[in-house]
Amino acid sequence: MVDETPQSKGGIARAQALSSEKRIEIARIAAESRWSNVPKAITETRVLKIGDAEIPCAVLEDQRRVLTQEGVLHAIGRAKKAKGGQGASVVDNPPAFLAAKNLRPFISEDLIRSTTPILFRAFSERGAVRAFGYDARLLPEICKVFVDAKQARKLLPSQLHIAEKCELLLKALAGIGIIALVDEVTGHQAQRDRADLQKILEKYINPELIPLPWTKRFPEEFYKELFRLHRWQYSPPSVKRPRLLSSLTARLVYKQLPPGVWEELKRVNPANDEGLRKHPHWRHLSKDIGNEHLANQLIAVTTLMRSAPNWRAFERLFERAFPPKQLSPQINLALAYKDDESVIPALG
């Protein structure tokens, strides 16, 4: 029996005097404190299929891609249930599945240092839950240990089934990046591309249409060469332009800016029912980067047109210099959801 001190009696009395709401709040603060240094997953835990293996995976807030510890053990033929975050607790102590003495010659020091299980907060229907995982990049390295030991005839009979599982995993992973697989199955690929797209648009698009000094952004030489190659009559004082000119300008100039910029220009500067826009597109481009890139593109295209005897010859020169660009499905998703931080489309 433990003797009750005056301090412990006072603590018990104060706890009993608290309302249930206050006790819940204290417990919540204590729980948040325990979790404060534990990285959280920014994607749901999804099942990654590699050959016949199914391994739950997630992406953490520090951008580490993790495979759950239980998933890795099961995939290589070990016990499905890990025991309380098995793994290396010190640098020279490998996890249980790599601890056999016959495997040591095939394990690099880097691998030993990297196999401490990662504690993280995973999503679940009950909210955040504790989970253990390994850096996804370790899976091929772990498999290679058993495959190399098998080839050297150093495996025990009880380890052969693990080597066979590892061989199948390596074959399934051949030529495919494990990081790309995790990003695709968790939906992080779309989230990552959306962030990359946002960085591009922030550099290229002028969000407030800050009045730029009006200058002739499209030089007369550009139009002169376009008209020559199409055998149109060129009348510089006239503001009338063939209807085809707008689509040609988009294809030769604006669509050659980074992926997503043309789509964003159309969104912020839409055409009316008559096909006219309130401002020229270049007014929505940033001064230092967007309009600078635009000017360089105009110089390049005009130079190619000047070198071509006819439109067909120019087409060949242009396609060689600027291969056709197609937005990836991920960029299209990023464009669709770029203003909605609560939505992370899942792929695959």
34 CB contacts (<8 Å, ≥6 apart)?
none
Cβ neighbours of residue 264 under 8 Å, at least 6 residues apart? 201, 204, 205, 335
- Percentage of the chain surpassing pLDDT 70? 70
Burial class (CB in 10 A: 0-12, 13-18, 19+), 83: exposed
CA angle 196–197–202, rounded 5-degree value: 100
The domain segmentation of the chain, as residue ranges, is 46-186, 194-337
Hunting for tokens 């779309």 — which residue is that? 190
CA 251-257-262 angle, to 5 degrees, is 65
Asked if the model's pLDDT at residue 217 lies above 60, the reply is yes
Poorest-pLDDT segment among 93-102, 133-142, 219-228, 309-318:
93-102
Q: Please state, in angstroms and rounded to a whole number, the distance separating the CA atoms of residues 160 and 184.
A: 32
Q: How far apart, in whole angstroms, are the C-alpha atoms of residue 338 and residue 327?
A: 15
> pLDDT-derived band of residue 337, with 50, 70 and 90 as boundaries?
very low
Q: pLDDT band at 342, cuts 50/70/90?
A: very low
Residue 340 is predicted with a pLDDT of 45
Kind and range of the H or E element at 345?
Answer: none
Of residues 339 and 253, the one with the higher pLDDT is 253
Per-residue model confidence as pLDDT tens digits over 265-312: 888 888 888 778 888 888 888 888 888 888 888 989 999 999 999 999
Give 180's contacts (C-beta < 8 A, 6+ positions apart).
189
Place of tokens 């060689």: 320
pLDDT digits (tens, 9 = 90+) for 17-75: 666 776 666 666 555 556 667 888 888 888 998 888 999 999 998 889 999 999 999 99
Task: Determine the pLDDT at residue 157.
Answer: 94
Looking at every residue in the chain, the average pLDDT score rounds to: 78
Q: Is 337 helix (H, G, I), strand (E, B) or coil?
A: helix
Q: 103: which 2 tokens?
A: 């495997």
**For position 144, what pLDDT does the model report?**
93
pLDDT level of residue 113 (50, 70, 90 thresholds): confident
**pLDDT at res. 333:** 47
Residues 6+ apart with CB under 8 A from 330: 189, 190, 193, 347
pLDDT of residue 209: 61
